[in-house]
Amino acid sequence: MRTTAATRLRVGLFVLVALVIGASVAFAIGAQENVFSPKTTYHAIFDDVGGLQKGNTVRVAGVSVGSVTEVIIGEGGSIEVYFRVIDDATHLIRGEPGLALGETDAKPSFAAIGSKGLLGDRIIEITVGADEYPEWDPNEPIPVSVGGGIMAMAERTLVEAEGTAHNLRLATDPFADQEFSEDLKETARNLAKASGMIANGDGTIGRLMYDAELGRDVKGAVKELRAAGKQVAALGKNLNKIAEDVQSNEGTVNALLYGTDGADAIRNIRDTFGQLNTILTDVREGDGAVNQLIYGELGDSFMTNLQNASDDIAFLTKEAREGKGTIGALLTDPSVYEDIKRLIGDLERNDILRALVRYSIRRDDAREPVEVIEQ
């Protein structure tokens, strides 16, 4: 078969296009997976990797910097994960072996299992360590953060949602009780009735809200209470001032409270009550007239005589009220009053009697007073 120049040209063009396409694909894959970049291998030990597999992506600060190379089940059930990170990102992985998270304010790097999405592939997320720490030694396992990553966050959210649902169920379980539901309905009806009465201006609360006159009365009462409070406050101030004056001034009250006069007065009162007690004891236990008058036969006879005298006075007043006797006639007979009045008038008009009265007055005035010598 003869090959023409056209055939050779077509074959050359095909090979050239294939090479270009292959190189482009190779460079594209290499750029995405960092195939041609130098890398450093790190490892971390997890209790659970959540389905992490070889070839999954490794991110530092959210940027893809490598991939998982091995997932090994170690002794005791721990999972050792080895992954490679490009050297351009190794300076971001910082920390000190043996330093636990939270021991210092500066945060070291740590690894956590994350996800590309809630339903995406697992990845390893590595945080950027603080500048205070040196670059991480690849021979030491990077510390891990338990519960880190988006999936862990989703799991915690689901757990919290489950707890919230449980609390809601506990809160709504009483509504399943028929009696409780009826009581709640009755309470709601009463509240609706009460609010309706208030809205219509019925009852005390409704009147307070809609009755202007009652509102003015309440306002006046509050004003009077405020004025009374001011008066009480003023009275308190006055009492404080009086107390200060009593304490500072040398008056009678001060002398009674703080001086010797008060003690003397109390002592005198005590002595007086003591003497009175002695007198009452003597009266009760002695043989004197007062004891006989209160406890003895003399008292009985005295009361009898007092009763008889009271009866006699009652009899005399009765006789006088009835007009009997001289006093009764003076009290009830008008003619006796007129006779006495006429007699006194005749005496005033008697010249001889008047002269005798003047003479007696002049003689008394002329008589020298007698001095009384006190001995």
Number of domains in the chain: 4
Residues spanned by the domain of 155: 41-160
Same domain, 155 and 198: no
Q: Is the dihedral of CA 314, 318, 319, 321 positive or negative?
A: positive
Distance CA 263, CA 67 (A): 103
Q: Average pLDDT of 97-116?
A: 76
Give pLDDT, residue 146. Answer: 62
Domain end among 160, 178, 211? 160
Domain boundary among 217, 249, 281: 249
Q: pLDDT band at 41, cuts 50/70/90?
A: very high
The whole-number pLDDT of residue 80 equals: 92
pLDDT band, very low/low/confident/very high, at 285 (cuts 50, 70, 90): confident
pLDDT, tens digit, 9 for 90 and up, residues 110-133: 899 888 766 667 889 998 988 888
Q: For residue 223, what pLDDT is reported? A: 86
Answer left, alpha or beta for residue 286, where phi above 0 means left and psi between -120 and 50 means alpha. Answer: beta
pLDDT of amino acid 178 = 75
pLDDT-based confidence at 375, cuts 50/70/90?
Answer: very low
Mean per-residue pLDDT for 256-285?
Answer: 78
In angstroms, the Cα distances linking 364 to 148, 254, 358, 371 are 136, 57, 10, 16
- Whether 259 is in a domain gets the answer no
Both 126 and 235 in one domain: the answer is no
Average pLDDT over residues 5-26: 74
Residue 238 lies in a domain: yes
Query: Is 14 a member of any domain?
Result: yes
Q: Are residues 52 and 97 in the same domain?
A: yes
Tell me what the pLDDT averaged over the chain comes to. 77
154 and 137 assigned to the same domain: yes
Max distance between CA atoms of the chain, in angstroms, equals 209
The encoded tokens of residue 292 equal: 């006989």
Assess whether pLDDT exceeds 80 at residue 337: no
* Residue-level pLDDT at 68: 93
Least confident of 1-10, 71-80, 83-92, 134-143: 1-10
Whether residues 28 and 48 fall in one domain = no
Strands (E) in the chain, as ranges, are 39-46, 57-60, 63-73, 79-86, 111-115, 122-126
How confident is the model at residue 341, as a pLDDT? 73
Q: Is residue 265 part of a domain?
A: no
The answer to whether residues 67 and 134 belong to one domain is yes
123 CB burial (10 A radius; 0-12, 13-18, 19+): buried
In percent, how much of the chain has pLDDT > 70?
A: 74
| Averaged pLDDT for residues 328-348 | 71
Residue 273 forms part of a structural domain: no
Q: In this structure, are 45 and 153 located in the same domain?
A: yes
In a domain, 302, yes or no: yes
Written as one letter, the residue type at 169 is: R
Whether residue 244 lies inside any domain: the answer is yes
Three-class secondary structure of residue 67 per DSSP:
strand
Establish if 279 belongs to a structural domain.
no
Partner residues linked to 67 by β-bridges: 57, 84
More confident residue, 48 or 198: 48
Last residue of a domain, one of 106, 136, 160: 160
Clarify whether residues 7 and 48 are in a common domain: no
8 Å CB contact between 112 and 148:
yes
Asked if 310 and 329 sit in the same domain, the reply is yes
Torsion sign (Cα): 6, 8, 9, 10: positive
Confidence class for position 31, pLDDT limits 50, 70, 90:
very low
- Give yes or no: residues 108 and 3 share one domain: no
In this prediction, residue 151 carries a pLDDT of 52
**22-36, 295-309, 356-370 — which is least confidently predicted?**
22-36
183 phi/psi in degrees, rounded to 5: -60, -40
Residues 20 and 45 in one domain: no
Cβ neighbors of 133 (< 8 A, separation 6 or more) are 94, 95, 96, 106, 108, 109
Same-domain check for residues 129 and 233: no
Instruction: Decide if pLDDT at 351 tops 50.
Output: yes
**pLDDT confidence band for 28 (50 / 70 / 90):** low
Residue 153: pLDDT over 60: no
* Cα separation of the two ends of the chain: 191
